[in-house]
Amino acid sequence: MPRSVVAVLFDFGNTLAAHEPLAATVGRAAAVLDGAAATGLDGAAYAAEVEAAAHAADELRYPRDLDASVWRERWHVLYGCWDHRIPGLGAEVYRRMHDPAEWVPYPAVATTLAALRRAGVRVGVVSNTGWDIRRVLRHHHLDVLVDEVLLSYEVGEVKPAVAIFRRACDALGALPETTLMVGDDPVADAGAVRAGLRTLLLPGAPVGADNGLGAVARMVANG
């Protein structure tokens, strides 16, 4: 009997790897730039302001996930909302948010990807982003366990569009019905269901916590 799952697609952020909360990142960035000004800085307020601005209707007109230059420009603007308090803060936050060493794979990622590789299951990563997250995979030596990486800004499609999931299946040489999508976003990643893929949504988990990804290899092994 043929194996029911021959390929697995993973989201990247908060599925394979996590970054510390923005509130913590801005605190560390501020301390490097201006220790005195960083004292008493309200990282939670900064993070809330950035989050609100990033999802405002006027901001969403910019195709951040479809153009690397737009991504860089807009996130520098968004992270720079407190540059009047600490000059250069936005640029330092941006650098840290895109530093591969600042992204931490979840505990079961390496063992899960290795198990899928041994089982002959093809693995892809599908991410809505405007920067090359392959750098993170290479930094943590996970790139050798991934067959294909599809990034929205490179393929011109953004999840939850059916097209990006179908394109990922084609890249892996798998049919949608024999492919499992694993993600954390109930909107973007659940779009795989409309593309005909079985879909597993994992709970959000902080850096270092178990997000349940280890269940993927067991699910595939059990058909």
* pLDDT (average), residues 161-189: 97
* Integer Cα distance of 195 and 135 in angstroms: 28
* Integer Cα distance of 192 and 177 in angstroms: 11
* pLDDT (average), residues 5-28: 98
Q: Does domain 7-16+106-221 have CATH number 3.40.50.720?
A: no
Alpha-helical (H) ranges within the chain are 22-33, 35-38, 43-54, 57-60, 68-79, 89-97, 109-118, 134-139, 152-155, 162-172, 191-194, 215-221
Residue 148 has pLDDT above 80, yes or no: yes
If you average pLDDT over every residue of the chain, what do you get? Answer: 96
Strands 103-105, 17-19: pairing kind:
antiparallel
The pLDDT assigned to 3 comes to 58
Residue 1 has pLDDT above 60, yes or no: no
Residue 50 has pLDDT above 50, yes or no: yes
The pLDDT assigned to 2 comes to 46
* Integer Cα distance of 84 and 101 in angstroms: 28
